[in-house]
Structure 1
Amino acid sequence: MSTGSVEDIYSDLYSTFSQLTCTTADDIEQLPYSIDLKTSLIFVGSTVGGLLFGYDTGVISGVLLNLKPEDLSRPSLTDFNREIITSITSIGSFLGSIIAFPLADRCGRRITLAICCMVFIISGIWMALSRSLLFLVVGRLIVGIAVGVAAQCTPIYLSEISPANVRGFMLTLNSVAITGGQLLSYMFAFVLRDLSQSWRYLFGISAIPAIMFISLLDFIPESPRWLVTRGKFPEAHSALKMIYPGASVHQINLKLRRLIIDLGKLNHYNDIDEPLLQQSRSFLMNLNSSILSQANSIEVPVINNLVQPSNSYSSLPNQRSSLKRKRHVHKMEARTKRALMVGCTLMFFQQVTGFNAFMYYSPIIFSKLNIQDPLLPAILVAITNFLFTFVALRYVERVGKRSMLLYTVVIMIIGLLLCSTGFEKNNLNLLLTSIVIFVAGYASAMGTVPWSCVEFLPLNRRSFGASCISCTNWLTNAIVSLSYLSIIDKIGDSSTMLIFAMFSTFSWIFIYFCYPEVRGLSLEEIGKIFENGIDIYNVYRNYY
């Protein structure tokens, strides 16, 4: 056991804990995870935010197709009016991503999602009752704020409650909810298309899933990791029991012990209140006593030493301690910046490759091609997007996110090049085929993986980093959706597809050189990849 600085103490403590969990085979992060009714309610309920995210972003395509100028007391609706109605949600989502950062850290992930659902209910009713363009735009702005909060908070929550061996699956499940919400919006638009002012019903329907989430709130636990950062250790223990209903008390105690140890380690990189550290040490001592009574293989001296600060710490020169702390702060800041660079850049490429241009405006695109019912090919796009999200769901853990991205971005590029040719030759069959190819490639990885980049970030920077990643998404989304119709009017559809293909090529190059594989790693292990540069092949070198 080290007798040096606090950093040395917690480093040895963490190392000893790793040996302990390996020898006892009680690390529930790595044990097979069974999905039963209780855990299904947790994960399905927590993806309602993703469902609402998808529905409220996809519904605009059906709304624009059925919205009449007289519905909003206007003589006409220009392309610019349509772009404003569409893009204002992305601007609202940008603001929501900023709000979500302090809200999720202060109120918790669970309560933040509940607040978000209340906003979805209010905005859905607001938009359904809109009688003017301004009123509708304000409603779209409000729902955008809720979408931004949900888009940021849901991946954080899922990443923090999911075991390491199913985290990729659970994060991709959120993407399934998003694409499912988009598909539902198209289906409802198709079914209700003959109703007068059907767009009002489309907006009103969005309140239903939000009401469902609030009704399930008692079955959804708070993030144990967040609870630990607030010193709510008994509540964290209860939350872990809800998430791991088949785990023994001994396994739950070991998991909670590890979370508290990681909280102590964060103190070397960021200011954590000393009372919280003292509280964590006290609780950890009691927890170790409980673990000791359940596992005779743990030696008493080791347990006691792990929670007692070294006597020599107080005698260390202050200057040396200060210099060491500065080095650790710099190390953590560098790690966070690298992780943020990867997450934000990948999210930027997710938007500039053009998918949401198809999602928002495909009915308008196909209506200009003189198709009798432009919603039908638009539904084909949504179905493709939904179905191929299951490809990501099935293979993201087996193949790995990095490999999935590298394979599927090539498919996206091929689809966009064929799409450009389809527009140039005005060949409807080629156009539909190429769009399906592009959307299939996009949904299989690029549509899902960027949202999981929150797992790269340390716990005490996760909400802030998720906010940055989400803001990048919505700012880029707003620029694309606000300019797409104007751009195709100036340079044509074919040239616009070539621009999207160019950005897709740049994204492949970035992934190849900068995106690391993290398959099977715990959130705490992922941080090591970014400590000294970006160790892209860390997993392959150490585990495969």
Structure 2
Amino acid sequence: MAPDHLHDGSGAESPLLVHDNDTRRSPRREHEDELEHDDSQQPLVSESTESYGGLFVWILTFSAGISGLLFGYDTGVISSMLVTIGSDLSNRPLTTADKSIITSCTSLFALISSPIAGLLADRLGRRKVILVADGLFAIGALWQALTSSVWGMIAGRSAVGLAVGAASLVTALYISELAPSEMRGRLVTILSLLITGGQVVAYVIGWLFSSMPGGWRWIVGLGALPAFLQLGLLFFLPETPRWLVQAGQETKARAVLGKIYGSDPDMQRLAERVFRDIEREVALEEEEMDVGHDKPSSFLDQATHSMSELFRIDGNRRALTIAVMLQGVQQLCGFNSLMYFSATLFSLLSFSSPTLISLSVAVTNFLFTLFAFSQIDRIGRRRILLLSIPIMTISLIVCTLAFLPLDLKDAPSVHQLRDSGSNDITKGNTSLPIIILLSLIIYTASYAAGLGNVPWQQSELFPLNVRSVGSALATATNWGSNFIVGLTFLPLMEWISPSSTFLIYAAICAAGWVGVWAIYPEMSGLSLEEVKELLADGYGVQESLARRRRA
């Protein structure tokens, strides 16, 4: 068993922080020795997820996941809003440039806010940053609903972008740090499930209000309701045990872990083991960084120090490389261009109810995210990506071929085609739009099962001391890529043709598959502390697969 005098939260100093100056041993060696003699590292109970704190864990996850619902709703409403807004803004129809800027400004400001949110999450705690994001969601939604100009809409969408950037980072981090390792994949996937659920709700609301004069104001304004709901729930949510230990609040951390793992004596022993692992990790990292009790005091010092540790240590750089790769591929594969502009695209393809057709894509996204929720821990993160990305690639190639006879390269502009009523580009060939729709549905299903979920497991890649800043940079990559896609999709459709645009996305998918195969290890079932060890001396792909086979 672990030494009786291990730090118990009472203020006594952990033996990991006490050493003789003449006989000092490395913190990693101390950790390995302790593991060799710690019987608590052996399984205490069967690894049934029903053994954990049950209702408490799910309440935490769904309460925090409302941020995902807001995220999904605010990215989903743009599709129906763009085809129903008419001349209500600045007394003129929206141009292609207007649509691109209104759409992409959300991603741009999410790019700006996500790194800042990561640093604030370390300084203030995960919960307080989610609180700030809720306030921004509410302000942005109401601003959009009340504005009468294009630039007012851009300002409202920008406020939502600040909220989305913070929430997309911190909520995944929050759930990841609260979840037991055997449930982490599924619980973080709930965030993606709520994001896709929010997109479905956005399409339904968009369809219901699409024929109402000024209905788009209700479409965007209703996004404030979930923000106010989560603001109320936040007062009952705890901070994560890992942040509490890092902040020196061990008693509170123990209490939260006790609620997560339940009151059964065996599960309480498991909660104590998890607490010791977290405390040990914090102590080891403090010694390795040689900061001891002289931690960076100011916000700027802390940010600089965390960034230095992220790039200086090999394992941290590997974690960042994997996270950035996955988040970049998730967006550059073009999926969100479909979510943003699906109604515009289906309008060009002569579907009579483009908003309703767009709903089929959103429902597919939701259903296959539900599939990922139920299977991701069983199939494994790496394997589900290697299986799903090739299907995405093939689907995009089919779209490329189907679009060739429908080439819009010589059209004056996408918005003029739709607004002038001259959008019968099918030339009587009704099968091609159906082929494109089916291909996009298959593409969406494959995306939702893999790339839509796995990159958001990014928190598990990073050690505690750089977890927030590493996740922040990865999330910034996501939103930077999202900004590029949102800004360029409609212009690319006009400048180089739809077929060439979808071919670019197919090539990015293929390149992403190679990257996953080469450097992404299997993380399923590993504790956050075990992931750190896996990446310490390499990417650990073969080692992780060997562990998976032994499990």
Aligned partner of 1:539 in structure 2 is 544
Q: Which ranges in structure 1 are unaligned for 5 or more consecutive residues?
A: 277-327
Could you report, residue by residue, the CA deviation over 1:476-521 in whole angstroms, capped at 9, with x for unpaired residues? 1101110110111011111111111111110111111111111111
Alpha carbons 1:27, 1:255 under 8 Å: kept: no
1:396-407 superposed matches below 5 A: 396-407=376-387
TM-score when normalising by structure 1: 0.86
Match of 1:393, SS state, is helix
Aligned partner of 2:326 in structure 1 is 346
1:223-234 superposed matches below 5 A: 223-234=240-251
Could you report, residue by residue, the CA deviation over 1:75-133 in whole angstroms, capped at 9, with x for unpaired residues? 33110000000000000101110220221111101111112111111111111111111
1:275-354 superposed matches below 5 A: 333-354=313-334
Alpha carbons 1:221, 1:243 under 8 Å: kept: no
Q: Distance in 1 between matches of 2:534 and 2:341?
A: 40
Alpha carbons 1:127, 1:200 under 8 Å: kept: yes
Which residue type is aligned with residue 210 of structure 2? Answer: R
**Residue 204 to residue 21, structure 1, CA distance change in 2 (3 Å):** farther
Q: Distance in 2 between matches of 1:269 and 1:13?
A: 12
1:165-176 superposed matches below 5 A: 165-176=182-193
**Residue 86 to residue 24, structure 1, CA distance change in 2 (3 Å):** closer
Aligned partner of 2:201 in structure 1 is 184
Q: Distance in 2 between matches of 1:454 and 1:144?
A: 21
1:104-123 superposed matches below 5 A: 104-123=121-140
1:204-223 superposed matches below 5 A: 204-223=221-240
Q: CA deviation at 1:363?
A: 0.4
Are 2:342 and 1:362 equivalent residues in the alignment?
yes
**Residue 218 to residue 464, structure 1, CA distance change in 2 (3 Å):** same
Which residue type is aligned with residue 352 of structure 2? Answer: Q
Q: Distance in 2 between matches of 1:28 and 1:260?
A: 24
1:250-261 superposed matches below 5 A: 250-261=269-280
Aligned partner of 2:66 in structure 1 is 48
Q: Which ranges in structure 2 are unaligned for 5 or more consecutive residues?
A: 4-18, 296-307, 406-425, 427-431
Are 2:30 and 1:12 equivalent residues in the alignment?
yes
Alpha carbons 1:21, 1:27 under 8 Å: kept: no
Q: CA deviation at 1:341?
A: 0.6
Q: CA deviation at 1:274?
A: 1.5
Match of 1:357, SS state, is helix
Alpha carbons 1:61, 1:359 under 8 Å: kept: yes
**Residue 148 to residue 355, structure 1, CA distance change in 2 (3 Å):** same
Q: CA deviation at 1:32?
A: 5.3
Which residue type is aligned with residue 452 of structure 2? Answer: G
Aligned partner of 1:38 in structure 2 is 56
Aligned partner of 2:118 in structure 1 is 101
Aligned partner of 1:526 in structure 2 is 531
**Residue 24 to residue 371, structure 1, CA distance change in 2 (3 Å):** closer
Aligned partner of 1:76 in structure 2 is 93
Could you report, residue by residue, the CA deviation over 1:187-238 in whole angstroms, capped at 9, with x for unpaired residues? 1101111221111111111111112212222432110000111101111112
**RMSD of aligned Cα (Å):** 2.4
Aligned partner of 1:513 in structure 2 is 518
1:135-214 superposed matches below 5 A: 135-214=152-231
Q: Distance in 1 between matches of 2:25 and 2:101?
A: 52
Which residue type is aligned with residue 529 of structure 1? Answer: L
Aligned partner of 1:266 in structure 2 is 285
2:372 to 380, 392, 395: 392
Q: Distance in 1 between matches of 2:309 and 2:487?
A: 40
Q: Distance in 1 between matches of 2:311 and 2:66?
A: 37
Alpha carbons 2:53, 2:260 under 8 Å: kept: no
Aligned partner of 1:67 in structure 2 is 85
Q: CA deviation at 1:332?
A: 6.5
Q: How many residues align?
A: 493
Aligned partner of 2:9 in structure 1 is none
Q: CA deviation at 1:411?
A: 0.6
Alpha carbons 1:362, 1:378 under 8 Å: kept: yes
Alpha carbons 1:28, 1:255 under 8 Å: kept: no
